[in-house]
């Protein structure tokens, strides 16, 4: 498991626009639409948000421990989403640092994809489990 | 939650080739169905045309299914071509690097 402690960002103390418990990935993707709209993310930016969050939610559902909580905040040009579960996080070798065509196993591709699509992706463990935070920003806000 | 447009797959064989047309979203829940449809089409031995033009979303699970189908076709000496893909699919294929593995 990863032993990096999770450090919440200041935005996480604000009231969220999105809160889901144990969503299927397809439900999480659909729930992101108003969040992207509130932030003014369009086209590829909104698609990238959808892809990145979907990958992380899929990992949490498949490899984490329920309940999985998805929480989202929107500000002009930027969306922050946290995906938490009650597990202990992936092992060091599953941390999504590797590209698709590596030989050993298939794990980690989703997280690797999510990293490519986000402005920021951080993760860590805490008392209640494991959290991934994703930040997707409009080009003008990068 | 109504998910009527989650996934729809149509397989059409005209004697010389099979077209697998997909509409909807390919993720960990739905991608295995595409794998089955491609395997079924492959069993005839005819060349396969995979049409992803109406796929609005694909994730790493969907990519793996397509990559595996391409690998198996190559191994068996069969033709499998992705004849069309939506912008959303193309973006994910490009980001993943898988676009380089597709037969041109």
The neighbour count for residue B29, using CB atoms within 10 Å, is 18
Question: With an 8 Å Cβ cutoff, are A109 and B63 in contact?
Answer: yes
Identify the residue whose tokens are 């992706």.
Answer: A121
User: Could B28 and A58 be called an inter-chain contact, meaning their C-beta atoms sit closer than 8 Å?
Assistant: yes
Strand B80-85 relative to strand B48-58, pairing: parallel
pLDDT tops 70 at residue A141: no
The pLDDT value given to residue A104: 38
CA angle B42, B30, A131 (to 5 degrees): 135
Q: Is B4 exposed, middle or buried (0-12, 13-18, 19+ CB in 10 A)?
A: exposed
Size of interface A-B (CB pairs under 8 A): 57
DSSP A91: -
Q: Which of A81, A18, A14 is nearest to A54 (CA)?
A: A81
Indicate the residue of B6, B64, B95 with minimum beta-carbon distance to A26.
Answer: B6
CA pair distance B58, B41, nearest whole angstrom: 21
pLDDT at A61: 95
Which A-chain residues 93-122 have CB contacts (< 8 A) with chain B? 99-101, 106, 109-110, 113, 116-117
Question: Can you tell me the distance from the alpha carbon of A69 to that of A56, in angstroms, rounded to the nearest whole number?
Answer: 11
pLDDT in tens, chain B (104 residues): 445 579 999 999 998 999 999 999 999 999 999 999 999 999 989 999 999 999 999 999 999 999 999 999 999 999 999 999 999 999 999 999 888 888 76
- Per-residue pLDDT of A111-140, as tens digits, reads 889 999 999 999 999 999 999 999 999 986
Task: Quote the pTM value.
Answer: 0.91
> How far apart are the CA of A96 and the nearest CA of chain B, in angstroms?
12
Confidence of residue A108 (pLDDT cuts 50, 70, 90): confident
pLDDT band at residue A98, thresholds of 50, 70 and 90?
low
Helix pair angle (A43-63, A109-117), 10° resolution: 150
Helix (H) or strand (E) holding B55: strand B48-58
To the nearest whole number, what is the mean pLDDT of chain A?
A: 89
User: Please, where are the H alpha helices in chain A?
Assistant: 25-39, 43-63, 109-117
pLDDT confidence of residue B103: 79
CA distance A118 to chain B (A): 12
CA distance A121 to A81: 10
Q: How many CB atoms lie within 10 A of CB B82?
A: 22
**Is A97's pLDDT higher than 80?**
no
What confidence tier does A36 reach under pLDDT thresholds 50, 70, 90? very high
pLDDT of residue A2: 60
Asked if A25 and B6 come within 8 Å (Cβ–Cβ), the reply is no
């Amino acid at each position: 498991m990863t032993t990096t402690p999770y450090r919440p960002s200041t935005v996480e103390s604000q009231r969220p626009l999105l809160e889901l418990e144990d969503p299927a990935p397809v439900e999480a993707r659909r729930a992101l639409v108003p969040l992207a709209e509130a932030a003014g993310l369009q086209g590829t930016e909104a698609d990238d948000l959808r892809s990145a969050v979907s990958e992380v939610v899929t990992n949490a559902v498949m490899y984490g421990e329920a309940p999985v909580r998805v929480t989202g905040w929107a500000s002009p040009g930027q969306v922050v989403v946290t995906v938490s579960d009650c597990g202990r996080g992936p092992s060091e070798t599953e941390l999504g640092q590797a590209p698709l065509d590596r030989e050993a196993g298939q794990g980690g591709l989703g997280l690797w994809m999510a990293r490519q699509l986000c402005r920021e992706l951080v993760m860590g463990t805490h008392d209640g489990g494991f959290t991934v935070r994703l930040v997707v920003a409009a080009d003008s806000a990068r | 939650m109504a998910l009527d447009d989650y996934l729809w797959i149509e397989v059409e064989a005209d004697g010389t080739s099979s077209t697998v047309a997909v509409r909807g979203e390919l993720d960990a829940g739905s991608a295995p169905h595409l794998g089955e449809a491609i395997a079924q089409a492959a069993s005839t031995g005819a060349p396969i045309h995979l049409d992803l033009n109406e796929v609005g979303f694909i994730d790493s699970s969907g990519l793996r299914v397509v990559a595996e189908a391409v690998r198996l076709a190559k191994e068996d000496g069969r033709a499998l071509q992705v004849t069309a893909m939506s912008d959303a699919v193309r973006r994910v294929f490009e980001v993943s690097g898988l676009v380089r593995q597709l037969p041109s």
